[in-house]
Amino acid sequence: MIPNLLKGSRSFSKALVKETLGSNVKNAEYAIRGYIVQRANEINQRLSKGEKFPFKKLLWCNIGNPLALGQPAFSFDRDVLSVMINPRLMACTDISRDARERANKFIKSVEYPDALGAYTASHGFAVTRESVKKYIEERDGYPTDINNIYLTDGASDGVKTIFTLLLRGPQDGVMIPIPQYPLYNALVTLLSGQPVPYYLDESKDWALDMNDLEASYKKARDAGTNVRGIVIINPGNPTGQVMTKQNMEDIVKFCHKNSLIILADEVYQKNIYANKPFISFKKMIHDLPSPYNQVELISFHSTSKGVTGECGLRGGYMELDNIDPFVSEQILKLRSISLCSNTVGQVMTEVMVNPPKEGVNSPEVVMKHNKEHDIVFGGLKKRSLMLTDRLNSIPGIKSNPIEGALYAYPSLFLPDRAIKAAKEKKLAPDALYCVEALEECGIVLVPGSGCGQREGTHHFRITNLIFDTEEFDRALDSFKRFNEKFFTKYS
């Protein structure tokens, strides 16, 4: 006889519902893919079914996703990947000898033909880390230990590892720039830490104000927060500034005084359009005399940005510098839990830091790669200048110059009626503006309220990534017409 297993049991209830989720998950926000993107996805589905809107397609200017907006992939990079994914292509003469030799170097380094289909060491492919080591040493002029280099699934993966290590509970905080890339606030919230905001100065092209930094640190300490580190994004996201040498030196000295680790988000180090050099924090720290050259640093880079723009392949690295040996062991342990980063991203990281070079590769391959690079970078620079000029020609908008990265972050001077209407709809004023821009002209933007801003100010983030410059120009024309209608509506 079969027993009645349900006799006396409780009624079924789901384990995961709103009420049973952790508050950290519910409180974390990521504006880059928040409400406005959800609304955009809904509109996109309706467009695909033939519904009529004032536009034929959406323009995804909310996220730094270059290949989604027409930027081509580099031929050499994809050729290397093609052979790695399918080693039978090693005999294909349609693929350059240089690309096949690079792929063969990977395969030989791991001693089995299907190099991409197996786990790597937790640090990642040694051949990629050797190329990263050489890249950093040539960039900064200081030695790098290959054991301090970890390959990661984009920069975000590395940041999450370090935040997990750094934040022990709600008493711990990390200083985060405002405006910021929303990843940082979201991770601090998820890990039960305290975000400690410090504000960049819009009136000084988004430079860091040391007085504000000191005040933010003191306020947090006085409130009982144990401030453990500082996030620096250089070049800035979403603000597009390139940090000055003096600013960087001041930060290193500030961190030495207060025993803070620097977390340097340097993923836009190749996206500089102004006549300003990129200086890494590693170089800055080691250029300074003792004791400042002992400041702890973890820096991050990614294949998603720069000129490569290969977001979906999720490649990147982080480098540890001046990190205690026991802490390094714990980082290796954390990385080992995930076994390794994806192998396609590891290969892409290698070709990003080690592109075809004169004297190493054939002249034809070098010439082709350089031409592709110049087309992509030239387009980014041209559209950055265009974007700044066009935004500043629109009433109610003011943008600082885009010195680097992939974005403008202009101020919005909204009418009082628009602010009131937003409040009635329970939206931030710049979110209302972005929603109406989406519905009127199909441009997907990020409201400044999602990136952070001084109280009483309003902004939005827009990318310079629509690869077709003429299409970008038409999109900005459409956006200008929307803005005029918006201000007329609410004036």
Report pLDDT digits (tens) over 17-39: 666 566 666 555 555 556 788 88
Using pLDDT thresholds of 50, 70 and 90, give the confidence band for residue 459: very high
Q: What pairs with residue 462 in β-bridges?
A: 408
d(CA 36, CA 40) in angstroms, rounded, equals 6
Q: 198: part of which helix (H) or strand (E)?
A: strand 194-201
Using pLDDT thresholds of 50, 70 and 90, give the confidence band for residue 334: confident
Q: What integer pLDDT is reported at residue 105 of this predicted model?
A: 87
Using pLDDT thresholds of 50, 70 and 90, give the confidence band for residue 56: confident
Residues 409, 239, 424, 38, CA torsion sign: positive
**Is the separation of the CB atoms in 172 and 225 below 8 Å?**
yes
Q: What integer pLDDT is reported at residue 189 of this predicted model?
A: 85
Region(s) of the chain under CATH 3.90.1150.10: 23-70+370-490
Mean pLDDT for the chain overall: 89
Q: Which of 112-126, 164-178, 277-291, 423-437 has the lowest mean pLDDT?
A: 112-126
d(CA 150, CA 159) in angstroms, rounded, equals 12
d(CA 309, CA 302) in angstroms, rounded, equals 9
83: its two tokens: 């052979």
Task: Tell me the CA distances in angstroms from 468 to 72, 240, 379, one per residue in order.
Answer: 11, 21, 9
Using pLDDT thresholds of 50, 70 and 90, give the confidence band for residue 465: confident
- Mean pLDDT (whole number) for 100-120: 80
Q: What integer pLDDT is reported at residue 243 of this predicted model?
A: 94
Region(s) of the chain under CATH 3.40.640.10: 119-353
The residue type of 425 is K
Q: What integer pLDDT is reported at residue 349 of this predicted model?
A: 96
Q: Which fold has domain 119-353?
A: Aspartate Aminotransferase; domain 2 (3.40.640)
Q: Is the pLDDT of residue 5 over 90?
A: no
- Mean pLDDT (whole number) for 41-66: 88
d(CA 191, CA 187) in angstroms, rounded, equals 6
- Mean pLDDT (whole number) for 257-284: 95
CATH 3.40.50.10540 fits 23-70+370-490, yes or no: no
d(CA 254, CA 275) in angstroms, rounded, equals 27
- 356-376 pLDDT, tens per residue? 999 889 999 999 999 999 999
352: its two tokens: 């990003």
